[in-house]
Amino acid sequence: MIGNITIGQYLPGESLLHRADPRTKIILSLYYMILIFIIKTYAGFALALLFIAAVTLLSGIPVKHTIKGLRPIIVIIIFTAMINIFTTGGTTVFSFYFIKITYEGIELAAKMALRLILLVTGASLLTLTTTPISLTDGIESLMKPLSRIGVPAHEIAMMMSIALRFIPTLLDEADKIMKAQSSRGADFDTGNLVQKAKSFIPVLVPLFVSAFRRADELATAMEARCYRGGVGRTRMRQLRFGRTDFSVAAIIFLFTCVLAGLEILFRVFV
């Protein structure tokens, strides 16, 4: 499961999404996430699934790689679905003593599962097609107006990019520690939930030690290179909006129009 997490990874490419300005991708990703929570009909979810599949193919990211990134959230999807199924009131479908399953609960669970899948896939596409440096520059550029009121835009952008960059590094470190502990006789698969949680203590302790050591090494390296924040800092590559960004924005606009039309039609006539 650790090796299946795709958020924070970057896959090089020359697709339309790879060439787009990071600010365009960040803004449109946030806009896309808002749209996902606005969708109410199954036709809208079907269109969103087709759209994210088309964008994945357009980006050149292997479909298997994208599907692999959904495996870690299966537990979250199941847990969320169970809560919605057993706690939502409405028309009873099945009842056994205190257990009550309603049609509204099943529908809400299905829609919530689809939202999680669409959100994780969209967030993964953002990091898979954007380098950490470009992501940092994009976040800093978008937050730059807030620096006038004292918001440390550069520092926030740097922290977010470092956090994203270290996700795959720490996951790889956790995988190595688990393999090392397994070779010493540790068992992570058997036992109840409490026993499994206790078995991960020998993994968490060295993982935290490694994370703090890497953070200290990174701070030392930045200080050795005279890093003093964003004051007076120049960039070799300046961010500029181009035709690629307008093309990506046009695709999102077309998707929004079709989605709005489907939502209106199905709410009125179905």
The CA R_g of the chain, rounded to the nearest whole Å, is: 22
Per-residue pLDDT at 103 exceeds 70 = yes
Domain ranges of the chain: 1-130+240-270, 154-236
- pLDDT tens digits, 212-226: 888 888 889 888 887
Backbone angles phi and psi of 228, in degrees to 5: -130, 30
Per-residue pLDDT at 236 exceeds 70 = no
Q: What's the whole-number mean pLDDT along residues 265-269?
A: 76
> Does residue 101 sit in helix, strand or coil?
strand
- pLDDT tens digits, 111-136: 888 898 888 888 888 888 888 778 88
Q: Tell me how many degrees the CA angle 64-69-73 measures, rounded to the nearest 5.
A: 135
Q: Which of 176, 200, 173, 172 is nearest to 186 (CA)?
A: 200
